[in-house]
């Protein structure tokens, strides 16, 4: 039971990360500063890497924490609305990491991350990066 709960949280969170990675969409159409463009490209690249990780590493709590730190850092480089949105999404990934750590230690209490908020924050990050055609789901 513990393993399937851990995998479930990981799969749901990866879905949120995938949403955000597609939310940054066609970065080349962004208007704005070079720092913003670079940060958005780096965030997109990090999320794509995160979502395509092989093996079980993508559901490890440390992988979520590392990805959150990179997204937060890129957001700080961009500043403005990208920083605000990146910080929110990074916190969602940190919350997922904390949940996975609890589950891995056998603690099934404490709830789960708010995947609705993660999806919303992924959308906000996409909009901040200049993508206007966000689609949810298939």
* Strongest mean pLDDT among 6-10, 81-85, 99-103, 129-133: 81-85
pTM greater than 0.85 (yes/no): no
Which own/partner contact pairs does 40-46 have at CB distance under 8 Å and 24+ positions apart?
A: 40/74, 40/78, 40/82, 40/128, 40/129, 40/130, 42/70, 42/74, 43/70, 43/71, 43/74, 43/75, 43/86, 43/125, 43/129, 44/129, 46/70, 46/71, 46/74
Number of domains in the chain: 1
Cα gap 55→98, rounded to integer Å = 20
Span 41-96, pLDDT tens digits: 999 889 888 877 755 555 689 999 999 999 999 999 999 999 999 999 999 999 99
Kindly state whether residue 24 falls inside one of the protein's structural domains. yes
Kindly state whether residue 113 falls inside one of the protein's structural domains. yes
Joined together, the tokens standing for residue 86 give 């990146």
Mean pLDDT of 27-53: 77
Kindly state whether residue 137 falls inside one of the protein's structural domains. no
Determine the structural domain holding residue 37 and report its residue range. 2-128
Kindly state whether residue 35 falls inside one of the protein's structural domains. yes
């Amino acid at each position: 039971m513990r393993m399937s709960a851990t995998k479930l949280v990981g799969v749901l969170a990866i879905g949120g990360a995938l949403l955000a990675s597609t939310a940054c969409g066609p970065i080349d159409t962004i208007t704005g500063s070079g720092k913003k463009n670079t940060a958005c490209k780096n965030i997109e690249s990090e999320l794509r890497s995160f979502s395509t990780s092989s093996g079980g590493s993508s559901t490890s709590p440390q992988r979520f924490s590392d990805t959150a730190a990179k997204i937060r850092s890129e957001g700080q480089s961009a500043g403005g609305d990208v920083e605000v949105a990146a910080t929110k999404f990074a916190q969602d990934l940190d919350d997922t990491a904390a949940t996975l750590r609890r589950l891995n230690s056998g603690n099934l209490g404490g709830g789960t991350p708010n995947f609705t908020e993660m999806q919303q924050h992924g959308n906000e990050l996409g909009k901040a990066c200049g993508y206007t055609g966000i689609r949810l789901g298939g």
